[in-house]
């Protein structure tokens, strides 16, 4: 009885090495493409898993913001906001006036320094012009 030759197909080893330049390029591109595809799939999986964590953080921050909005919508805080806005407008007006206003204290000081010490001033007025 003749011995049976085992029939098997080995898909891991190439049957023949590519000889043509185009065949080598084809084999190289497909091997390289295989690694690119695997790395892209790994990146996609990492991003997909990270999405769960980021969604949870986003929901937590949204809840915190909504709680703070409810607090700030109370009447006490609204009145304080109006006060602060009024103070801010007042300070802006004061800054505008102080920037454009001429400082007369140096003129008054020089006038008072020129008055003799034995004179007693009861009233002083100043007008520019």
Q: Are 128 and 102 in contact, with CB atoms under 8 Å apart? A: yes
DSSP type of residue 4: P
Greater model confidence, 103 or 70: 70
Task: Give Cα separations from 33 to 18, 62, 85 (angstroms).
Answer: 18, 42, 62
Contacts of 27 (CB under 8 A, 6+ apart): 18
Q: CA angle 83-86-87, nearest 5°?
A: 85
* Domain map (residue ranges) of the chain: 26-110
Report for 6-15, 53-62, 77-86: range of highest mean pLDDT: 53-62
Residue 1, pLDDT above cutoff 60: no
pLDDT tens, 82-118?
A: 999 999 999 999 998 888 776 777 777 888 888 888 8
Q: Are 120 and 98 in contact, with CB atoms under 8 Å apart? A: no
Q: Are 87 and 103 in contact, with CB atoms under 8 Å apart? A: no
pLDDT tens, 7-29?
A: 877 777 666 666 788 888 888 88
pLDDT at 115: 85
pLDDT at 128: 67
């Amino acid at each position: 009885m003749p011995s049976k030759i085992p029939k098997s197909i080995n898909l891991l080893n190439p049957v023949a090495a590519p000889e043509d330049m185009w065949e080598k390029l084809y084999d190289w591109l497909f091997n390289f493409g295989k690694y690119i595809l695997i790395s892209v799939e790994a990146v996609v999986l990492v991003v997909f898993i990270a999405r769960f964590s980021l969604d949870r953080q986003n929901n937590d921050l949204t809840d915190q913001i909504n709680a703070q909005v409810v607090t700030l919508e109370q009447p006490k805080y609204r009145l304080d906001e109006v006060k602060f806005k009024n103070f801010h407008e007042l300070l802006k007006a004061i800054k505008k006036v102080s920037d454009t206003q001429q400082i007369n204290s140096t003129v008054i000081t020089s006038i008072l320094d020129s008055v003799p010490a034995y004179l007693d001033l009861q009233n002083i007025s100043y007008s520019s012009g």
